[in-house]
Structure formats: structure tokens, C-alpha cells
Chain A
Amino acid sequence: MLTKFETKSARVKGLSFHPKRPWVLASLHNGVIQLWDYRMCTLIDKFDEHDGPVRGIDFHKQQPLFVSGGDDYKIKVGLLTGMKIVKIYHNENEWSALISYVSYFFLLCSVLTGHNHYVMCAQFHPSEDLVVSGSLDQTVRVWDISGLRKKNLSPGAVETDVRGISGVDLFGASDAVVKHVLEGHDRGVNWAAFHPSMPLIVSGADDRQVKIWRMNESKAWELDTCRGHYNNVSCAIFHPRQELILSNSEDKSIRVWDMSKRTGVQTFRRDHDRFWVLGAHPNLNLFAAGHDSGMIVFKLERERPAYAVHGNMLYYVKDRFLRQLDFNSSKDTAVMQLRSGSKFPVFSMSYNPAENAVLLCTRATNLENSTYDLYSIPKESDSQNPDAPEGKRSSGLTAVWVARNRFAVLDRMHSLLIKNLKNEIVKKVQVPSCEEIFYAGTGSLLLRDTDGVTLFDVQQKRSLATVKISKVKYVVWSADTSHVALLAKHAIMICNRKLESLCNIHENIRVKSGAWDESGVFIYTTSNHIKYALTSGDHGIIRTLDLPIYVTRVRGNSVYCLDRECRPRVLTIDPTEYRFKLALVNRKYDEVLHMVRNAKLVGQSIIAYLQKKGYPEVALHFVKDEKTRFSLALECGNIEVALEAAKALDERSCWERLGEAALLQGHHQVVEMCYQRTKNFDKLTFLYLITGNLAKLRKMMKIAEIRKDMSGHYQAALYLGDVSERVRILKNCGQKSLAYLTAATHGLDEEAEALKETFDPEKETVPEVDPNAQLLQPPPPINPLDTNWPLLTVSKGFFEGAIAAKGKAGQMAADLDMDTSGGEGWGDDAELQLDEDGFMDAPEGLGEEGLGKEEGGGWEVEEDLDLPPELDVPVGAGGGTEDGFFVPPTKGTSPTQMWCNNSQLPVDHILAGSFETAMRLLHDQVGVVNFGPYKSLFMQTLSRGRTSYLGLPSLPCLRGHPQRNWKDCGAKQGLPAVGLRLSDLISRLQQCYQLTTAGRFEDAVERFRVILLSVPLLVVDNKQEIAEAQQLITICREYIVGLTMETERKKLPKDTLEQQKRLCEMAAYFTHCNLQPVHMVLVLRTALNLFFKLRNFKTAAGFARRLLELGPKPDVAQQTRKILAACEKNLTDAHQLNYDPHNPFDLCAASFVPLYRGRPVEKCPLSGACYCPPYKGQICRVTEATEIGKDVIGLRVSPLQFR
């Protein structure tokens, strides 16, 4: 039994759950009615309208009403608006002391007339026109009220009718007829209730018994009795969904009974309080019980499903099955059946992907009786009827995997055991006090004690870190285990791997579950919300929930969860808000921008958020309102934007603030504008002075004069060093002596004289000129400052660029790439590709094969190695000095030796490092006599044959030998893994074709040859592939012969007619090599042109026709048709050539002459190239490795060929 909520009050005599909202009404013995929110754990409202105990209380099922009946013979109806009881309806009739819990309560008074004593309880049947009542007359009665129904008083009509009803006389005695009288209780019946769906009744009485009754149309009889309570049973009800009965009693206990077995299942006791009433929630698995000093809201069992997530798989327990849900395919299968025997549901699960095993923990009411089961999940299972494998059960509070083959068990003594897959104890670990353990990655655990969580290393047996948080209930690690969320009842703490707290979140409502999304945001649920938390501590609501869910995984905008019925569900959320914040935190402004543009996020709240969180520069770009824009721009020092905004606003205060800001940045042009706009002449004048702008300074002087601002005028003159102007000003303003002195001191004699004359000698004295006076002259500006102060170049923020380029999406995308492209590795690769002379989309495969010599650069890393000269590998000296006690072991058989024994394929021997046998095999099978071209292939293949890995540091490393039949070869039957596959070679053909198309014949030949030579080093599995390998050789041969000939032809002179004839012949032969159409078109065009020029129109026409048959491009076709038409006018050959297109021939690959059918011919044993007999014994021109005409076994590339 899980207590969800408790209240303290006077004795609770009546209870009712609200069908939808998390509310419960409690009516008290002292006349008060309380409305509680059991989720928020708060008292919403109360009212005190009754005198004396209130025993009847009920919420209306559809409407915001409730009704109460008290011992004061009064019935009140409350109307709820929002969370307030706004109105109470009084009804002043005489009621019986006891009132039922029904919505149209007032009818029951008529029913009472049948009983011989007080009616303690009455209740409507949920669907039929029946009422059940229990009375102190020791009977339970069932009443038929269909007569009442006819009076058209629907339950929904309550509030409209209530006022009008003034008495019981609405109901006649015939309205409720006794249908059954159930006798069996020996004392007064306190409670009777219908089963929600079956024709059953449960009753509880002062005889301390709970009785179950069955009824049909004609009669009702007692089914069974549940004995156990040792005082008056005050209330008994059916569980709305399970085969259970709940009863409570004045013996201070609540008991749960199994309906079919009629045995007690659970008992819940209180120390001092007698129970009086029980209530069941109509939809949820919630119950409430009222007792002497309050009420409890409780559940019978935990509803949280046990589940575990690994990769794309969710494992969860439902109805005694372990089920597996594939998140990607939504395939939900039962993978095994659990061993039965526990009456408690599975509490938690730990999944081990390496062994495909699960630990299922089951908590008993008495914690010490808890157990866990270790199951190995069957590899294959029939979902309809899954296996029930034998699990291993042991006692223990919690079991959690700590390694692939180890799990930790917290036993009932709260000590930690490490066990292996056989469920055997491997070791015991002393741990600090601990009441619960959680998974914490390989070899570690999180231990929970009363006030914190400790990260504990199981191997080292020591605590690594501790964090304070009380009563953690669940622990959720991020996928990469870099972060962990610790969930307590009302708090969430997010920590890093070292258990350093990153943020703390408090919730008023219970925290239920959580999962990390792929971007590192923690998504969690409370009883009524899905929320998010960034590791920075920022958190908020994503959406509301009707019912609690248990989040299993978050991907994109999908939240995968299990609901309370254990059904996997997917909820959609809008991740924009947290993604936006995350992008801001990570400074991924491209995403921010994208979201702002596409998600219509712009709003005051976002701007305020950005500003508050210190991103004014980001906010700036989203603001439309000029005033905000202006202040944001100033805040982040963006003068341009501020100026723009100031212009739009054109307010004096703005200009002033802008001026100050601009001055700080030395942006004096803007400063000037601001001073101009605000008509701040003094400052403007001074600005011109310090910037050395004399022209404007003079202008300012003029302006001052016009404005009759003497002081300003004088100052400007002083700044300018304009003495005569100063004299003039002084004179004009009546400062004659000063004017005279100024003029005299500065040596303006003429003016001084003139002034002196104006002095009236009678009244005025001409002042003395100080002979030592020094002139006050401003230094002339060396260089007027007409540009702004230089500022450091600041790379433009993302937004400045992006906003500026609004609309040019492409450009932005490019920018982003530049920003996001990561580590050096990529750069290197990219360069490598460029180095590869243009034509490649170069799969690396080619590099492996050692074309390196020609291409250099990135092709073959090994070639660049500075290999040391011959290294003397010391051979183990062996034990000369035996000590008689210890004999060092002799060398065993290495896998490579096995390979040689097991295979006759050359490549296996090369991989084994047995070059000698490999060469012999190649010699015997395909006639290789010159191994030069094979060297790089051998070395490459050899290096593929083994892996190296480090054992102990500073020691020579260990060897691995990858084998192609590793799964089933055992110790002796191994064969090496061959890196080279037929498909690799075939795909490499494409590059050769491209080289051919590009006219780079020698390169192409080189590569065709490598492919050809590689074919004997293949291992294939079936006949078709053998045929394909042979076909591959043929293709390579045709190209090599043709391209070699063409290369040769181009080198030949074409001066004489004979020489030209030979050229034409060779071009003609080329058209008989078996090439790809795209190449044949080129070949035919060459031949056509040559023959046309030679005036061999007849043969040329033949080429033209063949060309047209290949369907060349329109322009080529048109040209060809023209030539063909020209040829057809004169279908003759001017010269006799050694070429007969109609007589089939092979081409000698050495002399490039036709070998017509039937003539003797020698062939290359590998390539099958043909030669004139004189070439027998020489090296094949195509392979450059094999001997022409050699007698061989033949190509062997598959074990099939040896059977």
C-alpha cells in the first residue's frame, strides 16, 4: 500500500473523489467539508454549513456540483467554479439522519421506509434502477426504483430541481420497492455497495464480517464471508478494476481481500485511528480512507512499470511477460514469460545487452522479503507463446549490472554483493551506509543514503564522489553517460560523470520519470507535465499531461513512454523552446536563426529572455520595436544599428545616449551627428577642435556669431587662434581694454593703435602691455582627423552576417559549413582527394592495392615510410641452461601454419606469410614467372593478414589473425580473412573506364593490369562468382591489349603511305577489342576518320554503320551519317590493308597483327591473351608476369575448384 497523501482533521465520515480533477472531498464529524487537491497536497477550500457530523458527501459525475447530507437533517448542494465553492444550496426539509452518497440524493428518504432501524448507507446501482441499503436492522436491502425513473427525474437535473423541491412528497411509497432482503449479518450493517459490473454486493457490519452477496432477477443469496477484522467493519467496497475487496474497520486497519479466494491479501494498520469510511476513485487506482484524525489517499500497489532502455530497444514488464519494443519499427513482442509466485509486481529492471540478460527486482511490503530474478532472455521466441526460462531467484533489495558478467546486489543487511552470471557471490564489498543502489556505468554504482548519493567504484571498493540530495528515487544516465539526472520526489539534480552538481530543480508536484534526448536535454515528467531541463539549469514546461506517464526515450519531437496500463505510447512535443535555449547556450546561432525564422518565436518573452540571459546581440536581431532595438544596440555596442534606430526615433534623449556611446568608441562622425541633432554647439565646437577640423570650427564660430553667443563665438575664435576675430569680439562686447591688450600683445599694431585712439584719456587708462606676455595660440592640427578611430577588427557575429544576407539562403548554408566542419581529419582527407589528380572519386580501396608508385602522394602510405635497412630479427636463443625444474614451453602451431595446411589458394598462403608456397601455387596455377608486378600485391596482402594490438605497455605487441571462417573454424580449420573482394575489383573497373574515357591510356592500362593480377588473389564462394572472376580477367585483357596498341600506334610515324596504312590497320584492329560502348564509339570514330582520310571508303562505311548502331550522341550521329553518305557515293577502298572485318580474328598482343581463325596461336595462361607462336615462352605483354604458352593447372579462386 502506497500512501500518496494524508490530511489531519477531525474524524472523516464521508469521502468522494472528483472524477476528473485531482480533488477529494472529505466531510467531517464536526460539520466541516474540506476540498483537497491530493496531487498538490493542498486544501483548496472548505465550508462549514452543517451542524454536527456530515456523513454523506458526493461529487456530481458530470457537473461542478457536490452534495452533502448531515446529521442536522440538512442537505446542501455546493457549486464549484474554478477552485472555489461559490454557492451553497440549502434545503430545509426533514431528512433522516443518514443520507446516501448519490447525486440525486433527495429521493432516498422514501426508500428508508422499509427498514426497521436507521439506514446507515444507501447507494445507487451504477447502471440499473436499483438501490442498495444497509441498516442497523442487520439487513441489506435492494430496492427497485424504476418507478421513480418514470417520473423523469434524471440524475443530471439536480441543480435546476433542487430549489424547487420542498418536500419528500414527490415520491410516493410505490416509487421504491424492496426487491431483495439480504439477511446474514448478526449485527447492524454499516455499509453495502454494488459491484461496478457484476451482480454482486459487498457489505460490512458490526459483526466484524464482510459479506459478499450475489443476486439475480428473482433472488439474492450470500456467497461468502471474509473474517479477519476484530472490530466493527465500517465500510467495504469492491475494487473498481481488480478482483479485490477493500474494507476498513474500527480495529484501525484497512484490509484487502482476494474476491475469488476470499482471503486477506494485505493489511494496513494505523496506530491510533479507527477507520470510518472508504472511497474509490472512479477511474484511477486511488482510494481514500477516513479515520479519527484525518484522511489518507493511497494506492494498493505501485503502478510504475519496470522498464529498461538499451539502444533502440525498450524492455518492460507487463502481465508477467517481459516484452521488447523496437522504437524504430514499433514492433512490440513478448520475449519471455516470467516465473510466477510473487504477489508483488516487478519493481525495477536492469538489462545487460552483452549477455542479453535481465535482473528483475521485486519489492515486498516487508523490504527484507524482497527478491530479484536473473533471467537469460531466450534468443528466439514466439511472441504468442513465449518461453518461460528458468530464472535464478535470490533475496535482495536491488540488483544492478556492474559489468558484462557481474552484477551487484544490495542485500537485506544493506551490504553489497558482487555476483556472476551463475548467481554466485564473487565478492562482498564493504560500502558506506546505503539504502539503495543504482546503475552508474561499468564497474560503478550510485549508492543512496539518507541525505546523498555516492559514486562508488566496485572494483577499487572506494567512493569517488558524493553529492547531497535527499531520497533519490530514480537515476537516469545520458546515452554517453556523461550526465546523470537524479530524481527525487520533488527535486531533480543534474550532475556530470564526476557527480558534480550542475543544476538543481525543485518541483511542487511529484517527479515521475525522465530521459535524455539526443541533444543532451533532459526531458522529464511530473504527475501532470512534460518538462525539460538543460544542464545549465534552465527548465520549463513543454506540455501538460492528463495522467502520469513514464518516459522511456526522447527522439526529436517524440516522447516515447509507458502509461499506467503499461501501454507503450508516443507523445508529440514541441521541442522548439528548449532547442532554442540549448542552441543559445551552445552558441549555435545558425540554429537559433533557423528557429526564429521558421518557428515564429519572436515575441517579447524571447527578447526578454535573450536580454536576461546575456544575449543582447542575439536579441537585437529579432527586435522590431525601434526603442527596444535602440537600447539593445547600445547594450551590445552596435553603433550602426543604434544610429539607424535613433534616426527612426529621432528623440533628443536617444541622440544624447548614442552620442555618449559613440564617443566611447571614438566613432566621432556619429558623435558629430548626435551633437548636431541635439544642437549641442559647445560640445560640437570642442569636437571639431580635438579632431582638427578647422573649416567646421570656423563654421561653428560663424554660427555662434549669428546666434549671438558671445562666449561661444569667443571660444571658437580662441580655438582657431584667430586673434583679430577675438579682438573684434572683445571690442564689440565692450571689453575695450581686453581687446586692446589682445591686439597689442599679438602684435596687431594697426588695430591696437585704432583701439588706443578710442580710449578717452580723460576717463580711461590704456592698460599696460605686459612685455613678458606669452601668446596663447592653439597648435595647428598636423593632420585633421576625418576618419573614425580605428577599431580592432571584430569578426562579424553570426547574426550580423546572417541577417544581412537575409534571403540568400545558399550563402548562409555555405557559411554554416565552414563553421561546423570539424576536426583535422576531415581536412586531411579532403586534401588527399584533391591531390589525386582530379579524376577520382577515389574509393580508398584502390590505394590499398599499391598503385602508389605512379600516383605518389596519398595513394599508399606505406611507401612513404622510411623503412630501415634489413633488420636482424633475433631468433629465440632457446634454453641452453636448463635448471631442471622449469621447462619453458615450445612454440605452438600458429594460425598461419594452419592456413597453409588448410588451403591451396595462393592468397591464403600470402596472408600466412608463406611466400614460397604462394609463389609456387601462382606459378603452377596461372604460370606466373615474373613476380615483380606481384610484389606490392604480396606485401599489401601480407599486411592485411594480421592485426597487432598492445598487450602490456612497452612490450612488443601481440598478433591477431583475422579469419574468414572465424565463427565455426575451431582451433584447426582456420582460413585467413581476405580483404579483397570480387565486388571491390569490379567497382575499381569504373575508375579504369573513366581513365580510358579521359584518354589517359597508360594510367588505365596500369590499373587494369593491377585488377587482372589481383584476380588470382581472390577467394569466392560460388560458381557464378568464379565465372565473374574469369570475366573480369577478360575485360581487363581486352582493354589492356587495345589500349596498349593504341598507345603504340600514337608513337608510330605517319610520314609514308606504308606507315599510314599500318596506323589504319591498328586503328581497325582496335575496333575488334571488346570495349564498353562509350569507348567503342570513340574507337570507331578514330578508325572511321583515319580510313576516310585514306580514302578506304568501303571499310570506313562499315565503321560508320557500326558506330551508328551504338547510338552515339546526336551531333556525333549526324556527323557520322554525313561521312557515311560521302562514303556510300564511292564504296571502294583505295588501299589494300591487312584487315578483313568479316573474317574473325584474334589479335596478337605483342605484334598487333590479326591471327585469323585456324592459324596456330599461343595464349597467356592467366589473361588468355593471344600471341603468334614465336612468342611462346616469353612474358605476357598483358600481365607482365606470366609466361606465354605455359602449361598450367588453371585459375583457382575458390575451394569449390578443388572438390
Chain B
Amino acid sequence: ICATCPGSSVVNMAAQQGDVDELFDVKNAYYIGSYQQCINEAQKVKPSSPEKEIERDMFLYRAYIAQRKYAVVLDDIKANSPPELQAVKMFAEYLSSESKRDVIVADLDKKMAKSVDAANTTFLLMAASIYYHEMNTDAAIRTLHQGESLECMAMTIQVLLSLDRVDLARKELKKMQEQDEDATLTQLATAWVNIAVGGEKLQDAYYIFQEMSDKYSSTLLLLNGQAACYMAQNKWEEAEGVLQEALDKVTSRYLSQLKDAHRAHPFLKDYLAKENEFDRLALQYAPTATA
């Protein structure tokens, strides 16, 4: 890094201040859905130790995955890369190719059957991500249960919420809050739980997303969260405003790519399933007489 680089002074300053997470910007950008910024920060930061370097790479590659640039991840992570990165690669492989998924999951099942290095949080996270994609929530939660990192807890909360277990999600959130209430992940998880709880909590959830937008940058993830809160409060016009802002961030070309890329989006999955169901059910009704 050169001394004149913007940001280098920040890094220096951070280094002087002891208990500072040197990868904060990298992680934070990733969690709030600012993937390109995450990548930029990761490429800029100079990790102080090999462990930090791996951690940095982990977020770097996961940001690429979030951007659907699987090829970068698959090419960059070699067979001799550390196990953490291998896990990331596994996830990238899973997402990149639908045909290989069964094989990957079977492989993963085998690995999980053996004893797993619980210290390799990355592996747990990636494994749980795959199970969650497979809608195998049991396996996902079981996997996450072995980890203790904030992100494991956050993911557990997400899985629990998708199971409509708000009660358990709240308990898990409490654990997160005890560990670090002000962490970005804890804040985000608080917002998710608040949305699920509803009522007055919706406004709190909104504030969390909005504060983060204010503080960092308004990413699609954060705007989407704001819109969800607005809609839950029946504030449709406000929601439209936020969504419009989100749309403005995405060029129309990119939007059509998204449509294509998001065929597996749960929303669309449901939509199609329901459409078929409709057709099937509609057949059960007929007029008594025909003209």
C-alpha cells in the first residue's frame, strides 16, 4: 500500500488504536450488501497476520459469490488454499452449477457425518448456507449450532425466522446482544426479528436499516429492508419511494439480468408453485350446464 493512498492513513490510525478490527470495513460492507465496496476494501487493506489475510480473502470471495461472479472464486481458490477458503469454494460451486448440487450436498453430508472442526466457522457457515438453500433447515441449524460466532447466530436467526419460530429467534438474538449489541450483524438480526414480531417493533426495524444507510451507504439490502418495514406498516407510498430509490441504483439492464439470475428466488419459486396449484384446483370446479 502506498502512503498516498486514500484510506491508508485510516488504516494506520486504526492500527494505533489497539482493539480495532482491521477488517471492519471489509466485513461491514459485506454484511450490509455493499459487495463491490467490500471487494475494494479487501483489496486495499493490508492484513497484519496470515490469519487475518485468510479472513480477508474469505470475505473477498464471498462478496464475489454475492455478486454471482462464481468463476473468480472457483479459479482463484486452489487445492492448496486453506480449508476456510475451500469451504467458500464449495459454496461457490454449489451455487454456480445446478447440476452438481446433488453431488456437492451428498459430499457435504459425508463430511458432516464425520467430526467437524468447529473452529472452522467458515466451513460451518458455508455448509449451513448450502443446507438452507436446500431447504434442509434441520441440517442447517444443526450445523450452525456448533459455531459460536456472531454470524453463526445471525444465520441461525434467519433460519429460525424462515421456520416461523420467532420465539427461538428472539432467544438467539438475546445471545447475540449479550456478545456485542452494537455489531452490525446484531443490529441487522435485530431488525429481522423485529419485522417478524411486527407491531411497534416495525418502526425499530426501520430505524436500524435507516441508520445504517445513513452511516454507511444505502445499499439495496438496506433499502429493501426499509421497504419491507414500510410495507408491513401499510405505508405503501413510502415503501414505493424507498424501492424507487433502490431501483435507481440498479440500471435497467442490470435489472433484466437480475430477473434472469434470480429464477431460483424463493418468491418466484413460490409464485410458480402456486400458479400450478391454481390450475390444478381450478379443474375441480365446473358449471353445472354448458351452453
List chain A positions with a Cβ less than 8 A from chain B: 354, 403-404, 406, 418, 426-427, 430, 441-444, 459-465, 481, 823-825, 828, 865-868, 870-871, 873-879, 881, 883, 886, 888-895, 913, 915-916, 919, 923, 928-932, 935, 938-939, 942-943, 946-964, 966-971, 974, 977, 979, 1150, 1175-1179, 1187, 1190
Chain A nearest CB from B13 CB (Å) reads 5
Q: Any chain A CB within 8 A of the CB of B238?
A: no
Confirm or deny: B108 has a beta carbon within 8 angstroms of a beta carbon on chain A. Answer: no
Q: Does B123 contact A (CB under 8 A)?
A: no
B231 lies within 8 A of A877 (CB): no
Contact A953 B270 (CB under 8 A): no
| Residues 233 to 266 of chain B near chain A (Cβ within 8 Å) | 233-234, 236, 244, 247-248, 251-252, 259-260, 263-266
Min distance, Cβ B171 to any Cβ of chain A, angstroms: 10
| B282 x A919 contact (CB < 8 A) | yes
- A875 cross-chain contacts in B, Cβ below 8 A: 135
Picked from A481, A895, A968, A1177, the residue with its CB within 8 Å of the CB of B164 is A895
Q: Which of B47-55, B75-83, B220-228 contacts A (4 or more CB under 8 A)?
A: B220-228
Question: Is there an interface contact between A930 and B162, defined as CB atoms closer than 8 Å?
Answer: no
Select one of B62, B138, B158, B204 contacting A958, CB under 8 A: B158
- Alpha-carbon distance A823/B279, docked complex (angstroms): 41
On chain A, the residues within 8 Å of B106 by CB distance are: none
**Inter-chain contact A873/B269, CB cutoff 8 Å:** yes
Residues of B within 8 A of A931 (CB): 278, 281-282, 285
A949 CA to B192 CA, complexed, in Å:
9
Q: Nearest Cβ distance between residue B48 and chain A, in whole angstroms?
A: 14
In the assembled complex, the CB of B178 is this many whole angstroms from the nearest CB of chain A, namely: 12
Contact residues in B for A971 (Cβ distance below 8 Å): 166, 197
How far does the alpha carbon of A946 sit from the alpha carbon of B267 in the complex, in Å? Answer: 9
Indicate the member of A865, A954, A957, A964 with the most B CB atoms within 10 Å.
A954
Is B281 in contact with A461, judged by CB distance below 8 angstroms? no
> A951 to chain B: which residues have CB within 8 Å?
154-155, 158, 161, 188, 192
Residue B148 at the chain A interface, CB threshold 8 Å: no
Residues of B within 8 A of A481 (CB): 214
20 contacts between A and B (CB under 8 A): A427-B182, A459-B184, A460-B14, A461-B20, A462-B13, A462-B24, A464-B10, A867-B272, A873-B273, A878-B138, A889-B160, A916-B277, A929-B287, A938-B274, A939-B278, A948-B228, A948-B266, A950-B221, A962-B233, A1179-B291
Interface class of chain A by DSSP? loop
Is A954 a contact partner of B129 (Cβ separation < 8 A)? yes
Query: What residue of chain A has the Cβ atom nearest to residue B34's Cβ?
Result: A953
B51 to chain A, nearest CB (A): 19
Q: B3 near A: Cβ within 8 Å?
A: no
Contact call A871/B142, Cβ cutoff below 8 A: no
A865 to B257, CA, bound (A): 11
The answer on a CB contact under 8 Å between A960 and B228 is: yes
Q: Are B211 and A403 in contact (CB under 8 A)?
A: yes
Q: Does B275 lie at the interface of the complex (its beta carbon under 8 Å from any beta carbon of A)?
A: yes
Chain A residues whose CB sits within 8 angstroms of the CB of B228 once the complex forms: 947-949, 960
Whether A865 touches B259, Cβ cut-off 8 Å, given contacts A430-B18, A824-B251, A956-B132, is yes
**B286 at interface (Cβ–Cβ under 8 A)?**
yes
Q: Which 8 A-B pairs have the closest CB atoms?
A: A1177-B289, A892-B164, A1177-B288, A931-B282, A949-B228, A888-B138, A951-B158, A442-B215
**Known contacts A824-B251, A873-B273: A954-B66 contact under CB 8 Å:** yes
Measured CB to CB, the nearest residue on chain A to B266 is: A956
For chain B, the count of residues having a C-beta within 8 Å of the partner chain is: 112
Q: Determine if B211 and A442 form an interchain contact, defined as CB atoms under 8 angstroms apart.
A: yes
Instruction: Verify B268–A960 contact, CB threshold 8 A.
Output: no
Residue contact A929 to B285, C-beta cutoff 8 Å: yes
On whether the beta carbons of B287 and A406 are closer than 8 Å, the reply is no
Contact with A along B158-170 (1 / 0, CB 8 A): 1011111111100
Docked-complex contact B232 and A962, CB < 8 angstroms: yes
A443 touches B215 (CB 8 A): yes
Chain B residues near A963: list those with CB within 8 A.
Answer: 198, 232
Q: How far is the CA of A953 from the CA of B185 in the complex (A)?
A: 11
Our pick among A874, A953, A1190 for the contact of B66 (Cβ within 8 Å) is: A953
| A892-B166, A979-B236 known; A966 vs B202 contact (CB < 8 Å) | yes
- Write out the residue numbers on chain A whose beta carbons fall within 8 Å of the beta carbon of B151: 952
Judge whether A442 and B214 touch: CB under 8 Å: yes
Q: A889-B163, A953-B31, A961-B232 are in contact. Are A879 and B282 (CB under 8 A)?
A: no
Of all chain A residues, the one with the shortest Cβ separation from B240 is: A844
* Among B62, B63, B224, B264, contact of A949 (Cβ-Cβ < 8 Å): B224
Residues of A contacting B233 in the complex (Cβ-Cβ under 8 angstroms): 962, 966
Contact A868 B263, CB 8 Å, known A928-B285, A939-B278, A947-B231:
yes
Q: Does B181 lie at the interface of the complex (its beta carbon under 8 Å from any beta carbon of A)?
A: yes
Whole-angstrom CA separation of A961 from B197 in the bound complex: 10
Given contacts A957-B267, A958-B162, 17 further A-B contacts (CB under 8 A): A430-B17, A463-B13, A865-B268, A886-B142, A891-B164, A892-B166, A928-B285, A930-B286, A947-B232, A951-B161, A952-B158, A959-B162, A963-B198, A966-B232, A970-B199, A977-B234, A1187-B288
Contacts of B198 in A (CB 8 A): 963, 966, 969, 974
Q: B30 touches which one: A459, A881, A953 (CB < 8 A)?
A: A953
**Contact indicator B282/A935 (Cβ below 8 Å):** yes
Chain B contacts of A969 at CB under 8 A?
Answer: 198-199
User: Is A948 a contact of B267 with CB atoms below 8 Å?
Assistant: yes
Given A947-B227, A953-B33, A957-B266: A879 in contact with B142 (beta carbons within 8 A): yes
* Separation of A967 and B91 alpha carbons in the complex (Å): 40
Nearest A residue to B234 by beta-carbon distance? A977
A462-B17 contact, Cβ under 8 Å, with A873-B135, A950-B221, A955-B133: yes
The yes or no answer to B139 lying at the interface (CB within 8 A) is yes
A877 to B133, CA, bound (A): 12
Q: Which residues of chain B from 138 to 195 have a CB within 8 Å of any chain A CB?
A: 138-139, 141-142, 145, 151, 154-155, 158, 160-168, 181-184, 188, 192, 195
Contact B166 A460 (CB under 8 A): no
Q: Does B134 contact A (CB under 8 A)?
A: yes
Beta-carbon contact of B282 and A426 below 8 Å: no
Verify if B107 is at the interface (C-beta below 8 Å from A): no
Question: Which residues of A have CB within 8 Å of B65?
Answer: 953-954
Contacts of A874 in B (CB 8 A): 134-136
B215 touches A958 (CB 8 A): no
Q: How far is the CB of B142 from chain A (nearest CB, A)?
A: 6
Measured between beta carbons, the chain A residues less than 8 angstroms from B274 are: 913, 915, 938-939, 942
Q: With A866-B260, A916-B281, A966-B234 known to touch, is A877 a contact of B138 (CB < 8 Å)?
A: yes
**How many angstroms from the CA of A426 to the CA of B180 in the assembled complex?**
10
Is the C-beta of B137 less than 8 angstroms from some C-beta in chain A? yes
What are the residues of chain A within 8 A of B31 when measuring CB–CB?
952-953
Bound-state CA distance A1176–B287 (Å) is: 10
Most chain B CB within a 10 A radius of its CB, from A430, A443, A955: A955
Q: CA of A995 to CA of B65 in the docked complex: distance in angstroms?
A: 50
Residue of B nearest to A481 (CB): B214
Q: Are B135 and A938 in contact, CB atoms less than 8 angstroms apart?
A: no
Smallest Cβ-Cβ distance to B154: which chain A residue: A952
Chain B residue numbers with a CB within 8 Å of A883 are: 142
A22–B117 Cα distance when bound, in Å, is 78
Q: Is the CB of B214 within 8 A of A939?
A: no
Q: How far is the CB of A335 from chain B (nearest CB, A)?
A: 20
CA distance A929 to B281 in the complex (A): 11
B43 in contact (CB, < 8 A): no
In the complex, the chain B residue whose C-beta lies closest to that of A1181 is: B291
How far is it, in angstroms, between the C-alpha of A890 and the C-alpha of B66 when the chains are bound?
29
Contacts of A966 in B (CB 8 A): 198-199, 202, 232-234
Distance between A935 CB and nearest chain B CB, rounded to angstroms = 6
Contact, CB under 8 Å: B158 / A955? yes
Question: Which residue of the partner chain, among A915, A949, A962, A1150, contacts B278 with CB atoms under 8 Å?
Answer: A915
Cβ-defined contact, B139 with A877, below 8 A: yes
Rounded to whole Å, the gap between the CB of B190 and the closest CB of chain A is: 10
B91 touches A954 (CB 8 A): yes
Question: Once the chains bind, are B166 and A886 in contact (CB under 8 Å)?
Answer: no
CB contacts under 8 Å to A, within B58-84, are: 62-63, 65-66
